[in-house]
Amino acid sequence: MKDEDKTKEQLIGELKEMRRRLAELEASESECKKAEEILQKSEERYRRITEAITDYIYTVRVEERRPVETTHSEACFAVTGYTKYEFAADPYLWIRMVAVEDHDLVRQQIEQVLSGHFPQPIEHRIIRKDGVLRWVESTVVPHHDLNGSLISYDGIVRDVTERKKAVEERKKLEEHLRQAHKMEAVGQLAGGIAHDFNNILSAIIGYASLLRMKMRKDDQMKANVDQIIASAERAANLTRSLLAYSRKQLIIPRPVDLNEIVWRIEKLLLPLIGEDIDFRTKLTENNLTVLADGAQIEQVLMSLATNSRDAMPRGGQIIIETGAMELDGDFVSAHPYIIPGAYAVISFTDTGAGMDEDIMGKIFDPFFTTKEVGKGTGLGLAMSYGIIKQHNGYIDVFSEPGRGTTFKIYLPLMTVKPQEAETPQMPVAFKAGLETILIAEDDKAVREIMNLLLTEFGYSVIAAKDGEEAVNKFIKNKDRIDLLLFDAVMPKKNGREAYEAVKEIRPDIKALFVSGYTADIMHSKGLLGEGLHFISKPVSPTELLEKIREVLLRNK
């Protein structure tokens, strides 16, 4: 129908329809513009977010399982040192950044995503553009088209270097704590064993020594008795090592210069290590005054030298260096039993076989040794550990198989100059006595050998099996007793309690305490007061008789 043939109503209807369609088109166009604006704003917001966050975000477009284009956030520069333009120009730059040791791990993740899988996040190392190694966490998510084909994948890379360091530091701290608790537990056990063992050795050494005194010079059995005494004394040395490990060995601390100790022990070490080992010292010019028992520190260095010598059967080099170091909060946080402050440091290095981590974790354990049977007790380093801990210090070890070993000893520095060493007093020569001695000893074998020994040398002896009986016997014989010879640890009344009870009756009474423990632990348990005389078991008859004469003659 032609327009001129249409009625007015038809034309008006068509016009309305055209206006309706035009309105729909205008509305649709407006919606498209709005949608486009929303999309642009969304993209801008996404861009700002990706540029603001520190994680490195990227997208890789894939064709036929090959990366053909990459888009990267601005944060890629902070993480890798490369700009997003450098990554865009080289789709394979990322894989070349990965540390060689982690190539297989990263390639495996990429293969999984190219195969359409969702791989687990991985942690690996990268080499930044400036050559610095960093740890990153990489998460990858694939995207597919409607046909299920991979078209791209997104990745998020987070720098986790500091987190890795924190985890490693926490592991080291936990290991130090575990090791310290283990050492403490074993030390308590070792100290208890040493105490009981010393009572047994006191009887063995006492009876054997007394037997030897009664033998003629030409007695054929004399050599056998000497072997008994020598074996018992070797066993006594083991108990001393156990006590040192448990930090219950007696130490006599005084201000000493560590440089002087190293200089002095050098003369002793040279014949010990042999001519095929090059021995050197590098001593600092700084004052290294510490409060220490010089003999004990020398024993530690001797033990380290012996181990180094055995680790270098074909020769090598030993270097002892001294220096000073300020141990700050970071060091203390990794070594929880150290107090911050200034420390003297002895570094003992050898070029021997070295150790792996498993062995290093055990070297301070009592009786642990890598030597052949009969070549070592496994107590040398355990003893060294105990001695240094008893000096409020710390000993650490660094080693790798085939690269030698370094021990570092840290001892708290003093701010005063070392005093002149005291001239040791000669022991009082023992001789027969006419005095009366009250013995209190709960171990029957030890009590009997003491009684026999003192009676043999002219003393009158009154014996008691515990502290309470000793007090009762003193009351009955208070006017004739000249000396108390008390075991420090006894049932009913310990040695000090019995001594205090006796002092109320006779304040001027003299006393000598003996124990399988040492003076340090006696003081810590309140079993030995200041100024009281003490001697550790096992004690030889000669030492006991000399000490008795010394106490009896004092202030006479």
How confident is the prediction along the chain (556 residues), in pLDDT tens digits per residue?
A: 545 555 656 666 666 677 767 666 666 666 666 656 666 666 666 555 544 456 788 888 888 878 788 888 888 888 899 998 998 888 788 888 999 999 999 889 888 888 878 889 999 999 999 999 999 999 998 888 888 888 888 888 988 888 888 888 777 777 766 766 666 666 666 666 776 777 788 888 888 888 888 888 888 888 888 888 888 877 776 676 666 555 555 566 789 899 988 888 887 777 777 778 888 889 998 889 999 888 788 888 888 888 888 888 888 889 999 999 888 777 766 666 678 889 999 999 998 888 888 787 777 776 556 555 444 445 667 778 888 888 888 888 888 888 889 999 999 998 655 444 443 343 444 456 789 999 999 888 888 988 998 998 899 999 999 989 999 999 999 889 999 999 888 888 888 889 999 999 999 999 998 887 655 555 555 556 666 788 888 888 888 888 899 898 876 5
Q: How far is CA 534 from the centre of its chain?
A: 33
Total residues found in the chain within this entry: 556
Tokens 């074909």 appear where? 314
**Spatial contact of 436 and 460, defined as CB atoms under 8 Å apart:** yes
Residues 262, 406: one domain? yes
Interatomic CA distance for residues 122 and 138, integer angstroms: 5
Residue whose structure tokens are 């999309």: 39
Strands 316-327 and 341-350, sheet pairing: antiparallel
Q: Which residues contact 226 (CB under 8 A, 6 or more apart)?
A: 212
Q: Decide: 332 and 338 in contact? Cβ < 8 Å.
A: yes
Query: H-type helices in 357-479, by residue range?
Result: 357-360, 380-390, 444-456, 467-476
Measure CA 152 to chain center. Answer: 51
43 within domain boundaries: no
pLDDT at 346: 93
Domain boundary among 412, 444, 460: 412
- pLDDT score for 432: 60
Residue 83 is assigned to a structural domain of this protein: yes
174 & 122 share domain: no
427 belongs to a structural domain: no
Q: Is residue 39 domain-resident?
A: no
* Residues 227 and 332 both lie in one domain: no
Whether residues 292 and 440 fall in one domain = no
> Which pair of structure tokens corresponds to residue 248?
């219950």
CATH number at residue 375: 3.30.565.10
* SS3 of residue 45 by DSSP: helix
Helix axes 161-214, 380-390, angle to 10 degrees: 110
* Per-residue tokens: 22: 């035009």
Spatial contact of 129 and 82, defined as CB atoms under 8 Å apart: yes
Q: Are residues 277 and 300 in the same domain?
A: yes
Task: Kindly state the tokens that stand for 226.
Answer: 């000497």
CATH of the domain at 544: 3.40.50.2300
CATH code for position 124: 3.30.450.20
β-strands 254-257, 316-327 pairing? unpaired
Contact 289, 419 (CB under 8 A): no
Residue with tokens 């297989």: 104
* Per-residue pLDDT tens over the stretch 538-552: 888 888 888 899 898
Among the candidates 159, 188, 212, a domain finishes at 159
CATH (domain of 203): 1.10.287.130
**AA letter at 117:** H
| Number of independent structural domains in the chain | 4
Bridge-based pairing state of the strands 394-399 and 405-412:
antiparallel
Question: Residue 336: what residue type?
Answer: P
Closest listed residue to residue 390, CA positions, set 253, 190, 239, 536: 253
How far apart CA 282 and CA 298 sit, in angstroms, is 17
Q: Same domain for 213 and 276?
A: no
> Final residue of a domain: which of 110, 130, 159?
159
- CA distance linking residue 55 with residue 76, whole number of Å: 8
Q: Is residue 106 part of a domain?
A: yes
Give the Cα separation of 438 and 397 in Å (integer). 50
Per-residue model confidence (pLDDT) at position 436: 93
Residue 318: what residue type? I
State how far Cα 200 lies from the chain centre. 34
Among 324, 253, 344, residue whose Cα is nearest residue 292: 253
* 294 and 372 fall within a common domain: yes
Residue 441 resides in a domain = yes
399 shares a domain with 275: yes
289-292 and 254-257: which strand pairing? antiparallel
| CB of 116 closer than 8 Å to CB of 145 | no
Identify the burial level of 184 via C-beta atoms within 10 angstroms of its C-beta, where 0-12 means exposed, 13-18 middle and 19 or more buried.
Answer: middle
Q: How many CA atoms lie within 13 A of 105 on its CB side?
A: 16
Q: How many Cβ atoms from other residues are within 10 Å of residue 335's Cβ?
A: 17
Residue 214, in any domain of the structure: yes
| Residue 320 sits in the same domain as residue 400 | yes
DSSP-derived pairing of the beta strands 510-515 and 483-487: parallel
The parent domain of residue 188 ranges over 168-245
Asked whether residue 358 falls in the same domain as residue 389, the answer is yes
DSSP state letters, 66-103:
EEEEEEE-THHHHHHS--HHHHHH-TTHHHHHB-GGGH
pLDDT given at position 287 = 87
352 and 321 both lie in a single domain = yes
Report whether 263 contacts 283 (CB < 8 A). Answer: yes
Q: Are residues 72 and 130 in the same domain?
A: yes
**Beta-carbon neighbour count of residue 49 at 10 Å?**
11
Residue 11 domain-assigned (yes or no): no
The answer to whether the beta carbons of residues 124 and 102 sit under 8 Å apart is yes
Report residue 216 as tokens.
Answer: 């003629």
Q: How far apart are CA 92 and CA 438, in angstroms?
A: 92
Residues whose CB falls within 8 Å of the CB of residue 6, separated by 6 or more in sequence, listed in order: 14
